[in-house]
Structure 1
Amino acid sequence: MKKIFSFLFLQFFVFSIVFCQNQKIDGHPAWIMQGNIYEVNIRQFTEEGTLNAFAKHLDRIKKMGVQTIWFMPINPISVVDRKGSLGSYYAVANYNTVNPEYGTMEDFKNVVKKIHKLGMKVIIDWVPNHTGCDHPWLDSHPDFFVKDSTGKPASMFDWTDTKQLNYKNSEMQDSMIAAMKYWIKKTDIDGYRVDVAWNISGNFWKKCIPQLKKIKNVFMLAEGDSSYLPKSGFDAVYPWHMFHVMEKIAKGTLNAWAIDSIRKQTEKRYPANTIQMYFTSNHDENSWNKADYETFPGAVHAPFAVLTQTMAKTVPLIYGGQEEPVLRPLKFFDKDPMEWGKYKRAKFYQTLLELRKRNIALAPNASFKKISVGNDKAVYAFVREKAGKKILVILNFSATEQNITIKDKTLHGTANNIFMGSTETLSSKKWKMEPWGYAVYEY
């Protein structure tokens, strides 16, 4: 009888794990709904530039509140037509192996296991639009590639270290899907950030993504903001329209109310359950466009970072190094390691990430209500609410002090100021918010 009970208990335990792993909310993996993403540039993260060296940071990253690790491409980089001394991470030489500069396949599998043991998830950067210039498919399957006017494999834009893949070739499509399945099965990753997803047809993604999700309840993030991407199966997209508005507000060329205009436009553009990944920096924006050290400099960074963490229908991104912060552009084609030790923003991010984790009012599908608490050209304020939980966010997107008055009586009463760590009684009494100030209240 004991053996039968033990067997039944084991079956129930296994079923429970599988059920939790496959649980969905609004069609998305349940674990991403109050989650966040932390992008890792293995080459520059440490002096060694290896997976094992990065793994030494996992405990502090977990402590900061990170929930999903996004690794930039971990595949080998092509040597032919390479840019710089080490080449672009996105010029992939082989889809099925690990870049030897970073370590071995076993190293990567061990890092994934450690991340999972810490209760976090893993997604990897995938580059399906093009390969590097010495990828074996160029010899074995030349028909897998788009041809230029001379009949040679073509490059897009000035990406001369890559060759563009031909998605009219069904065998190439199947080979790409097989490679993506391989990493899920072999390494137990939890999803993909897909590079240049916007240049590949929705028909392919409608074919690919369901096959991946049959293996595991993976999270799919598309680099792109076209409406066909979420309609084709992606869980999340990039918020380029909003990001560029944020940049202009930071420069003073747009007012705070521009946020609402873009928010309403995107609501019309996407299916209702679409998630957008908000950020103040990422690998491209850092290396090429001076983010966030010039786009959101100094005190300007904070209110925009709070917006990325609290806005409706979003999952927030932190680019590894922002917590230090690294205030320079990292080289893209050469070794240029970060220096760690100050972690000046770590507590700031931790406060936001922990709030998001514990309070369902910050889930993408929680309600959003814009409110006026002062000069709407300078101050952007809103309320998030779900299942009896409520969050009030007030952001001063200007270089001048602003008067704040909470007129909505439903917001009066006791609330926790998450950054001050104090309980306050909110009322219609006027108070002042410093330039580029911010406040988040939890009810």
Structure 2
Amino acid sequence: MEETPDGVAFAVTLTLGPLTLTDRFHLTGSLVERTVRVAAPADAATRRQLHGLRMTLPGAGIGPPAECRFEAPACAVRPRLPLTVAARQSPQRPGDDPHFAPGARSRWQTAINDCPDVTPGLMVVHNPRRSQSLLAWYVSRVEAATALVGGDGQFPDLIHQPALAAWLSPGASVTGGTQYILLHEGDYPAALDAYRALYPRTGIEPPLYGEPPAWTRHAAIYEVHPGQFGGFRGLTARIPALARMGITVLYLMPVMEFDNRHRAAGRPDQPWDENWLGGGSPYAIRDFEALEPSLGTEADFRQLVQTAHAHGMRVLLDFVPQGCALDARYVTEHPDWFCRDEAGNMVHSHGWVDTWSFDWANADYQAYMLDWSLRRVREWDVDGYRVDAPHGKEPNWAAGLPYHASATNLGVVRLLERLREGLRAVKPDAVLLCELFGPLFARSHDLLYDYYPMVMGYELLDGRLTPREFGEWLSDYWRVMPAVPQRVCFTETHDTRSHHPPAYKLRGSLAERALFGILIAAGFVPMIWAGQERGLEDFYRGMLAARRRSRALREGERLCNAVSCRETIAERDYRAHEHVFSLLRRTPDETVWAMVSLYPEVTPFTFSLPLERLGLRPEARYRLRDLATGEVFREYGRGEWRGAELANITLTPRMFRPYLWRVERVTRM
């Protein structure tokens, strides 16, 4: 036991086979910071190979299990679950139980996923009766950890499994990241606030750049590959129509020379056409220094950027650090840039068989990518990058490295931080948009994707989550995520062909439009995947206009599950009211009520708005203005209600139509 400036620390050392483990605990009040050091004996005859580590908090509970519930915010897990449901899960099959993790089928069949790159990795045991919570999570800038839960059917084991990997020569050691354990007194929302308040201590905050550029708050992103419009010229011709729809950012999938299989098949002028197998992947880049010839010339590309800027749009390129095409020139020019297996063979990046894996910890590789990306901003006047797939990757077992094998796992983190600092110097209003959404990347990015709101939203549409559960999920999500950067969401991307097949199946449907409206209401920066808008330009124009017109939708407080709903006509016991989603957004001078009926029939419902909480006066008169159209909503001709009536108002929404209403006070002249 030793005293530290802010607490005490102690360590437990044990021998496990040929290795020595030192489990160190640092206590500060009710917070425990745990690290594990793995060492090979100095007198070992040979080096040892470490493949991983498991850090377990066994039998987690606060009082009787029947009093407790389990939470894992911002991932695929259903909120407000009984503790015993979590205790029945199998760490070997983390996504098999759809009741526990309804969104797992769309995210690699994992329930909580890796952390801190993909999710917070936060697991909470909460006892509402005692107002106590036990929280566990993991943070590292070097190796990601897989968050898992298991147990004995009564109490769960909370597990973090860092991807720690190394050759350990005699006397050598390696230390993983930190598992945090916090005992909190207070209600569940306060426990999540306590978790987020520790971001500065855990290195997640503050951001390197201060506040994101102001334009990001109003962003509306269009993801596109120029090949979808025949090349650079075709996309340039489309820009005026996109601007009229309300798009402010063009995110271009990779436009550098790639493994274009059309070229190999004798079709050299055929650009990428969403044919991933027949045409190849634009992410299998052959040469970072050359534009893809089937898209047009460099002059065509420059004209595309200039036209976008002339229409008030920013242009983001895809920054692809994970690997390169199998026949890329870097394979022979820079063989030391690549991850290798124990036999010295190059390995595929993240399991993608059309690319070799770059070693993110390699200093020369980092220097090249940093120079390349800043040079492109200077030369082409683009406005930043969308960063592709920076999640934890495979180890590099190559001999003679000056660092351990898993240093490459999250080695891209330092590269991205240097890139963000470089962008600030080259073009101060340029940005980084990260494809990943865990807290780790909040420090270096202005905007972050998130797949989980889309994934859980589709579970809502599919009936596997109720509107109340989705509201609880959203409430927890916003409580645990860093306050900045901006969060981006969508109903489709180029990846939803594999991550959630229904996204393509439902293209253009009432269901997809309902979800897009819900995500706008929830406060996400919207992104549209090229093609999903066809035939629905007016709908998307209205949704983007609603967000542009409303500060409450962009920045306001979120009140989830604050509007009660019941069936007006109780002739049938269909419980239709349980299929209505409502969300309130509020600033001091604006209230927006978002509502979607997911019940497949037009039927009246009676709603109750929290008048006092919203500052609505019972005697005043109000109307509901549709922010998408600018028109006043009318319920069979009626367009005004007294404040007192809003506590018991009957409306008949169209099924699956997203309503974004500003609650306006009527003033008489």
Partner of 2:503: 292
Partner of 1:63: 244
TM-score if structure 2 supplies the norm length? 0.56
Partner of 1:361: 552
Q: Distance in 2 between matches of 1:78 and 1:60?
A: 31
Task: Say whether the 8 Å CA contact 1:35–1:356 is kept in structure 2.
Answer: no
Task: Say whether the 8 Å CA contact 2:435–2:450 is kept in structure 1.
Answer: no
Q: Please say if 1:39 is aligned against 2:39.
A: no
Q: Please say if 1:350 is aligned against 2:541.
A: yes
Q: Which among 44, 50, 53 is matched to residue 231 of structure 2? A: 50
Task: Say whether the 8 Å CA contact 1:145–1:166 is kept in structure 2.
Answer: yes
Q: Which among 285, 288, 303 is matched to residue 92 of structure 1? A: 285
Compared with structure 1, are the counterparts of its residues 86 and 118 closer, same or farther at alpha carbon in structure 2 (3 Å cutoff)?
A: same
Partner of 1:218: 430
Structure 2, unpaired ranges of 5+? 1-207, 265-275, 393-409, 567-576, 633-638, 665-669
Shift of 1:298: 2.1
Shift of 1:421: 4.3
Partner of 1:438: 658
Task: Say whether the 8 Å CA contact 1:380–1:396 is kept in structure 2.
Answer: yes
Partner of 1:177: 370
Q: Please say if 1:148 is aligned against 2:148.
A: no
Compared with structure 1, are the counterparts of its residues 25 and 419 closer, same or farther at alpha carbon in structure 2 (3 Å cutoff)?
A: farther
Q: Which among 440, 451, 465 is matched to residue 228 of structure 1? A: 440
Shift of 1:287: 6.3
SS of the counterpart of 1:430? strand
SS of the counterpart of 2:565? coil
**Which deviates more, 163-172 or 433-442?**
433-442
Q: Which among 581, 591, 606 is matched to residue 380 of structure 1? A: 581
Q: Distance in 1 between matches of 2:471 and 2:452?
A: 12
Correspondences of 1:240-259 after superposition (within 5 Å) = 240-259=451-470
Whichever residue aligns with residue 349 of structure 1, its letter is Y
Q: Distance in 2 between matches of 1:99 and 1:89?
A: 9
Q: Please say if 1:104 is aligned against 2:297.
A: yes
TM-score if structure 1 supplies the norm length? 0.82
**Which deviates more, 24-33 or 273-282?**
24-33
Task: Say whether the 8 Å CA contact 1:404–1:433 is kept in structure 2.
Answer: no
Determine which structure has greater relative contact order: mean sequence separation of CA pairs < 8 Å that are 6+ residues apart, divided by chain length. 1
Whichever residue aligns with residue 378 of structure 1, its letter is H
Partner of 2:152: none
Q: Distance in 2 between matches of 1:225 and 1:25?
A: 18
Shift of 1:25: 10
**Same amino acid, percent of matched pairs:** 21
Q: Distance in 2 between matches of 1:397 and 1:322?
A: 21
Whichever residue aligns with residue 33 of structure 1, its letter is R
Compared with structure 1, are the counterparts of its residues 316 and 289 closer, same or farther at alpha carbon in structure 2 (3 Å cutoff)?
A: same
1:204-243 Cα offsets, whole Å, 9 max, x none, are: 3223221122211222111112210113x11222222222
SS of the counterpart of 2:652? strand
Q: Distance in 1 between matches of 2:447 and 2:277?
A: 32
Greater helix content: 1
Partner of 2:600: 399
Q: Distance in 1 between matches of 2:284 and 2:471?
A: 38
Aligned length: 395
SS of the counterpart of 2:342? coil
Q: Distance in 2 between matches of 1:388 and 1:226?
A: 32
Shift of 1:361: 2.0
Shift of 1:348: 0.8
Shift of 1:420: 5.4
SS of the counterpart of 1:97? strand
Task: Say whether the 8 Å CA contact 2:584–2:593 is kept in structure 1.
Answer: yes
Larger radius of gyration: 2
Task: Say whether the 8 Å CA contact 1:396–1:402 is kept in structure 2.
Answer: no
Q: Which among 121, 127, 140 is matched to residue 314 of structure 2? A: 121
Q: Which among 258, 273, 289 is matched to residue 77 of structure 1? A: 258
Compared with structure 1, are the counterparts of its residues 348 and 230 closer, same or farther at alpha carbon in structure 2 (3 Å cutoff)?
A: same
Partner of 2:177: none
Greater strand content: 2
Whichever residue aligns with residue 482 of structure 2, its letter is P
Shift of 1:268: 4.1
Shift of 1:419: 4.5
Q: Distance in 2 between matches of 1:402 and 1:92?
A: 55
Structure 1, unpaired ranges of 5+? 1-23, 325-342
Task: Say whether the 8 Å CA contact 1:395–1:436 is kept in structure 2.
Answer: yes
Q: Distance in 1 between matches of 2:551 and 2:609?
A: 25
Shift of 1:190: 1.0
